[in-house]
Amino acid sequence: MCLHKLLDFIKHLEDLSDRMFIPRIDREDGLVIYTIVSTIASQYERFVAVDAGAGVGYSTLWIVAPLEETCVRGTVFAVEWNRDRFEVLKKNLSELDARCVDVEVVNQNAVDFIEILRDSSINFVFVDIDKDMYRTFLVKALNKVVNGGVIAFHNAYIVNNFYKDVIGARKYMVSVIPTSAGILLIKLF
């Protein structure tokens, strides 16, 4: 996807989210996601990502774009539980001109989805679901994310430290990217 098309589609999804009163991440959060994915994607032969709480596809686009730009093969799961949002998500992502990445749209609760997902080689997860479900999601996702993989949680300033008693013996590094809402990054080793 060329940069011009990407910027047009980003603007379209920003406007759509606003018109539908669907909360979305800020563009600065999208740029953070884009940077993280583009930085770690080249380390893997096949890249698997999950956008938990995809809304109408805005955050999913920020995951897909760097993979397409570098033509890293893989799959991005866009997970949205709300049926109305899911229908819009499905339509929007069907308009993507993705050549390298398979985008799978899933209408399911993100915690249930991550629990039953058979793929245990996830490289990146972006989580923007009900904040009281972050801890449960992390418990289910830990054994599915590869060494060197990253789990990013939106609204870091609201949910600080929920992860400390969950990760256990697995080595990890935590950082908060200081966007307006904050993005909590957990890199697993």
Question: What is the residue-level pLDDT of the chain in tens, covering all 189 positions?
Answer: 666 787 889 899 999 999 999 999 999 999 999 999 999 998 998 999 999 999 999 999 999 999 999 999 999 999 999 999 999 999 999 998 889 999 999 999 999 999 999 878 999 999 999 999 999 999 999 999 999 999 999 999 998 788 988 887 789 999 999 999 999 999 999
The β-bridge partners of 150 are 124, 187
Cβ atoms within 10 Å, residue 115: 14
User: Measured at the alpha carbon of residue 39, what is the angle toward residues 137 and 130, in degrees to the nearest 5?
Assistant: 20
Amino acid 159: pLDDT: 86
CA dihedral 64, 37, 32, 105 (to 10 degrees): 30
Amino acid 166: pLDDT: 87
The 3-state DSSP class for residue 95 equals coil
Amino acid 25: pLDDT: 97
Amino acid 1: pLDDT: 61
**Residue 119's CATH number:** 3.40.50.150
Q: Which of 140, 141, 108 has the alpha carbon at shortest distance from 123? A: 141
Contact by Cβ (8 Å): 152, 172: no
Q: What is the rounded distance in angstroms from the CA atom of residue 142 to the CA atom of residue 114?
A: 10
Q: What is the rounded distance in angstroms from the CA atom of residue 135 to the CA atom of residue 122?
A: 18
- Give Cα 21 distance to the centre of its chain: 20
Contact by Cβ (8 Å): 173, 147: no
Q: pTM for this one?
A: 0.95
Q: Which residues contact 7 (CB under 8 A, 6 or more apart)?
A: none
Q: What is the rounded distance in angstroms from the CA atom of residue 2 to the CA atom of residue 12?
A: 15
Longest dimension (CA), the chain: 45
The whole domain housing 162 covers 3-188
Q: How many domains does the chain have?
A: 1
Amino acid 2: pLDDT: 66
Q: What is the rounded distance in angstroms from the CA atom of residue 8 to the CA atom of residue 16?
A: 12
